[in-house]
Structure 1
Amino acid sequence: MGVHQSRRRQCASKIALTDKRIERVNERRESIIKVEAKKISKKKIVLDLMWRDDGATQAELETATGWQRHTLRGYIAGTLRKQLGAVGYAIECERGRDDVPTRYFIAKVTRGMAAEGGAT
């Protein structure tokens, strides 16, 4: 009774430790995934789209953020323009006509542009 039961208990305790370790690893993975998901903000989405060579259309920005048109324009004109202006960048806007959509770009501010009040 003594030898066989002690081996069974040892095996059972090793299995329990392994299960606990697996649970801890899975919990860590889940927490890392949640943290990485939180790092992608709407500001980052907007900036990434606007940094592209062809910029971003208003429709693309609306779809990516889920914001309404007036919210997006307000964010770009107010908050984002001030933040980028502080680090030497400006938001340029190509107004669309007829079927051509409005496009937004990010551009480096040169001294001539800064003296004129920046790009709009």
Structure 2
Amino acid sequence: MTGSRKQDYKDVMSETTDSKITAWWNRAVDIIPANGGKGIGINKILNYYGLDKSEAIAFGDGNNDIEMLEAVGWGLAMGNASNELKSVADEVIGNVTDDGIYEFCRANNLIENIN
């Protein structure tokens, strides 16, 4: 992770061709291998287990989650996510600070209620 704004990406990456930027905030980025990323990772897991993307769910809150939400059948953006991520999501759920993932999973019978 490094601090960077979009207008500085070219300078940040000027000495590498084997890496790419994935931004999760307008002032911070992750620099990852050019052939990597969350979407690629999900596709590898789906292929390994012989699953279709329609059988996968992903939750995200940053722009670095865009390719991940696009790689699954049910891409869920947190309520606190960027508008860009929300626009590619299948659904927007509760905020991270309000236990959005837990509440979503409970409401959709993906986990048992714990009391």
Establish whether TM, by shorter chain, passes 0.5: no
Higher relative contact order (CA 8 A, sep 6+): 1
Structure 1 length normalisation: TM-score?
0.23
Give the structure with the larger helix fraction: 1
Give the structure with the larger strand fraction: 2
Which has the larger Rg?
1
Structure 2 length normalisation: TM-score?
0.23
